[in-house]
Structures are given as C-alpha cells and as structure tokens.
C-alpha cells in the first residue's frame, strides 16, 4: 500500500515539474525584469537543458519527500502493531518492591531452631509446675487428716504456703525470661532479614521495600476479613514480590554456615 502511494505521488510531482518547465519557457511581461538569478540563468539554456534541470531538481525533492513519508508511515505502523515498551529505569533506582515478612520468618532456619528450643524450655517449666501442683494437692489431702490448728496441720500448712509462694515467684520469673528470649529471637532474625533485603535492594537498584500480607482472606473467618480489609497494600504486581528471593538467599546462607561449622568440627586438632 505504501509503495502504490509513493508511485502515485511521484507521478504527480513529475507532472508538476513538466508544467513548471513549460511555464518557465513563456515568462509574463510583468515579471520579465524581476526574475530571480536562477530563472534568469535558465533563459540562457536550451529547452532540453532547462527540462533536464527542472526534472532533476523535482526528482531530488520528490525522493526526499518520499523517504520522509515512508519513514513516517513505517513508524506509525510499528507503533500501532507493537505494544509500548516499559519506561526505562533510572540509574539511581526508582523501583518499589514488596515482601511478606511473615512467610520469611516461617521459612527462616534460625528462627525455627530458636523457637523450637524456646518451646522445649517452656514445656519443661510447665512440667515442673504440674509436679508442684500435684505436690500441693497431696499436702492438702494430708492436712484433712488433722484438726485445724494442730501442730501437724500447721506444719503441713507452712509447707503448702511455701511451695505455693515459691512456685508463683518462679513462674513469674520464667514467664519474664521467656518473653525476653522470644523478643530477642524476633529481633535477631528480623535484623538478618533486613540485612538480606538491603543487600538485594542495592544490587537490584530498588529504592523502597514495603511489607505486605500475601495470604488469602478467608470469607468465613471474621478476623481474617477484618485484617484483610485493613491491609495498607491493596494491589501489587507479581514481579515486584521479592519474598521468595529473600527466602532462598537466607536458606543458602544458613546452609553454607552449617557446612563450614561441620567442616571446622571434623577438622583434626593440631598438635604442637
């Protein structure tokens, strides 16, 4: 279609050139003395030379116009047929990424180990508390065998109150210890995740990483619905979610650390 249009346009220009040639050979009286130098110079040429010159000039202009029209048509065709390319990213970094911190915590090897150890210690303390309650129940049953105010009753009562008070103090101390340990685990793991995210963002020129929740909302759970409605992030494209990248990087780091620790433990001791 473009070729047919160019051929028609060229024929039109060629016809216009020949009309201009014959018009130039018969100048009007009113403009005879005011002709430009280029036209005046043409008067000294033969009609054949004038025709060749005019055709050559018009042909050059026609080729130039045809090339411009062809380039514009090709650009328009490409713009209509191909999708627009995404804008180029700035070298200083303008991208925004999202990460599901909860999923990274769940997959973090150090977090699992620390929390499992904490759960074991909590279970051990609960077993001790259970034994203490059984001991208190045994003392209470023995107190029923004596009259209130008797020396035996008072002795058992003193034991009961002491065991009970010691148990309450120990339970309070252990509860505080476990809360502090749990907070320390979360803080340590979060700082490790933060370091990995910072490294990944600098390497990939990401200027901001936003926390979000990727879990689906349960339409049958009121709490899940309320949490989903109050999420600060409404939508994010899948290609800006770096959760899996951070999980894999942390897993590789811990695997490498474990391998180095194993190799150091199996290394024979050097003798002096």
∠ CA 103-105-109, nearest 5°, is 115
Instruction: Express each pLDDT in 19-60 by its tens digit.
Output: 554 444 444 444 444 444 444 444 455 544 444 444 445 545
Q: What is the pLDDT of residue 2?
A: 45
Q: What is the pLDDT of residue 200?
A: 94
**156 burial via Cβ count (<10 Å: 0-12, 13-18, 19+):** buried
Over 90: is that where the pLDDT of 83 sits?
A: no
Q: What distances in angstroms separate CA 123 from CA 11, 157, 166, 221, one per listed residue?
A: 97, 29, 19, 30
Q: Is 56 exposed, middle or buried (0-12, 13-18, 19+ CB in 10 A)?
A: exposed
Q: Which residues of 109-142 are buried (b: 16+ CB within 10 A; e: fewer)?
A: eebeebbeebeeebeebeeeeeebeeebeebeee
**Widest distance between CA atoms in the chain:** 152
Whether the pTM exceeds 0.85: the reply is: no
Burial class for 97, CB neighbours closer than 10 Å (0-12, 13-18, 19+) = buried
Q: Is 27 helix (H, G, I), strand (E, B) or coil?
A: coil
Which of the 8 DSSP states describes residue 271? P
Please say if the pLDDT value at position 14 is more than 60. no
Taking residues 80-99, report their average pLDDT.
54
**3 state SS of 206:** strand
Q: What residue spans define the domains of the chain?
A: 2-81, 95-259
Tokens linked to 20: 């201009």
Cβ(42)–Cβ(27) under 8 Å?
A: no
Tell me how far apart the alpha carbons of residues 203 and 98 are, in angstroms, rounded to a whole number.
16
């Amino acid at each position: 279609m473009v070729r047919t249009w160019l051929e028609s346009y060229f024929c039109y220009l060629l016809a216009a050139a020949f009309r201009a040639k014959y018009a130039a050979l018969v100048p009007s009286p009113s403009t005879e003395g005011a002709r430009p130098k280029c036209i005046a110079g043409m008067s000294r040429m033969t009609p054949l030379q004038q025709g060749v010159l005019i055709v050559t000039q018009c042909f050059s202009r026609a080729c130039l116009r045809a090339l411009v029209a062809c380039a514009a048509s090709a650009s328009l065709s490409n713009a209509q047929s191909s999708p627009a390319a995404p804008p180029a990213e700035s070298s200083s970094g303008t991208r925004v990424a999202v990460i599901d911190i909860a999923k990274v915590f769940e997959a973090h090897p150090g977090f699992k180990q620390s929390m499992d150890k904490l759960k074991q210690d909590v279970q051990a303390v609960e077993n001790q508390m259970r034994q203490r309650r059984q001991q208190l129940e045994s003392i209470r049953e023995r107190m029923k065998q004596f009259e209130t105010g008797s020396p035996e009753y008072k002795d058992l009562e003193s034991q009961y109150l002491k065991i009970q008070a010691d148990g309450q103090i120990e339970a309070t101390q252990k509860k505080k210890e476990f809360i502090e340990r749990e907070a320390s685990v979360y803080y340590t793991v979060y700082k490790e995740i933060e370091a990995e995210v910072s490294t990944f963002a600098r390497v990939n020129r990401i200027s901001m990483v936003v926390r979000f929740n990727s879990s689906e909302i349960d339409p049958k759970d009121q709490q899940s619905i309320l949490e989903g409605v109050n999420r600060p992030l409404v939508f994010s494209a899948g290609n800006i979610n770096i959760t899996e990248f951070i999980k894999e990087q942390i897993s590789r780091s811990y695997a490498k650390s474990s391998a180095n620790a194993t190799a150091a433990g199996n290394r024979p001791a050097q003798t002096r």
